Amino acid sequence: MNEVYANEGATAAGEGASRPVLLRAAREAAGLHIAALAAALKVPVKKLEALEAGRYSELPDLTFARALASSACRHLKV
């Protein structure tokens, strides 16, 4: 995933705005449509779209956002 950081201009420590880009990039690299990932994780597509876009205010709380990101990464094996 380092090449994604380099392409996005993020530092190794990461920038808050680039993290959703990494999740979307991992999903697209796996060839998975957002609706398929949402179905596998049993969450609404809108919540996954909000996470990928970094629109955390549309999610219930930060704990949910972290758990959803963790589940998505586990499913994508990243």
pLDDT by residue (tens digit) across 43-66?
999 999 999 999 999 999 999 999
**CB count in 10 Å sphere of residue 68:** 20
How much is the pLDDT for 23?
92
* pLDDT reading at 17 higher than 60: no
As a whole number of angstroms, the distance between CA 7 and CA 12 comes to: 12
CA 5, 9, 12, 18 dihedral sign is: negative
Domain that holds residue 58: 2-76
pTM above 0.85, yes or no: no
How much is the pLDDT for 20?
73
State mean pLDDT over 24-37.
95
How much is the pLDDT for 19?
72
Give the list of residues 6+ apart from residue 10 with CB closer than 8 angstroms, or none.
18
**How many domains does the structure of the chain reveal?**
1
